[in-house]
Structure 1
């Protein structure tokens, strides 16, 4: 198999592959949905999309919020799959 050598002016030369326009669009739509919904808008959720697969990461207050975030991501048209890697915020402080 022969791999093409990128031209020097190719936007992703040396930086890895450029993000797909569809992935960027999906990430923006999911993030917008999460910021609008009253259940998820004040949570620490990071949205990443790779090959139309939404990856949710961060901390949320309760299991209901975790479930709601996954459902909101699934509702976006064009999403192929959702990886819900959200964790529950423990609420306890460490070091004391």
Structure 2
């Protein structure tokens, strides 16, 4: 998995572009459908739209509410795709097998829980450890035919550097 962009990077300092009229109208249509549905009463659902793609955010108390919100958004005219990022509150009810949502939606529900949000220094240490490990693994390929057993001695510094970087990353960065 590729590292996430840094929280202090340029992507986080960009100003948001104003929403286009079609996006605003689409957002309003989806919100209206969700508000009018009694099955979603008292559920916290936020709707965002961009270029026909609707993103559902928030928390719901039942899995069926998550499925219902996605179905309503998907059936709204003008919606080309949805990203269902609605999360279940802890202890939410389970669904019968026939009511299971799309497997992709299930994956996205728990996305925030599975993605590790590490500080930049830890991500850099992990990247450096990976690069050092790859370089160390290439040493025998490049040097073994020419130098024989001496190649193993050339691998030791790379292995030590890799292990040191991994330990530093596990501790959360340099002291």
TM-score (norm 1): 0.75
Of structures 1 and 2, the one scoring higher in RCO (CA 8 A, sep 6+) is 1
Question: Any residues of structure 2 matched to 1:81-92 within 5 Å, and which?
Answer: 81-90=81-90
Give secondary structure in 2 for the equivalent of 1:86: strand
**Counterpart residue number, 1:66:** 66
Are the structure 2 counterparts of residues 36 and 51 from structure 1 closer, same or farther at C-alpha, using a change threshold of 3 Å? same
Are the structure 2 counterparts of residues 15 and 55 from structure 1 closer, same or farther at C-alpha, using a change threshold of 3 Å? same
Does structure 2 retain, via aligned residues, the 8 Å contact 1:56–1:82?
A: yes
The CA deviation at 1:90 is: 1.4
The CA deviation at 1:18 is: 2.1
- 2: CA distance between counterparts of 1:74 and 1:41? 19
Q: Which has the higher strand share?
A: 1
Over residues 43-94 of structure 1, what are the superposed CA-to-partner deviations in whole Å (9 max), with x where a residue is unaligned?
0000001111000010001111100000000111010100000000115xxx
Question: Any residues of structure 2 matched to 1:29-44 within 5 Å, and which?
Answer: 29-44=29-44
Bigger CA radius of gyration: 2
TM-score (norm 2): 0.42
The answer to whether structure 1 residue 26 and structure 2 residue 26 are counterparts is: yes
Stretches (4+) displaced over 3 A: none
Q: Which has the higher helix share?
A: 2
Does structure 2 retain, via aligned residues, the 8 Å contact 1:35–1:42?
A: no
The CA deviation at 1:16 is: 4.1
Q: What is the CA RMSD across the aligned residues, in angstroms?
A: 1.8
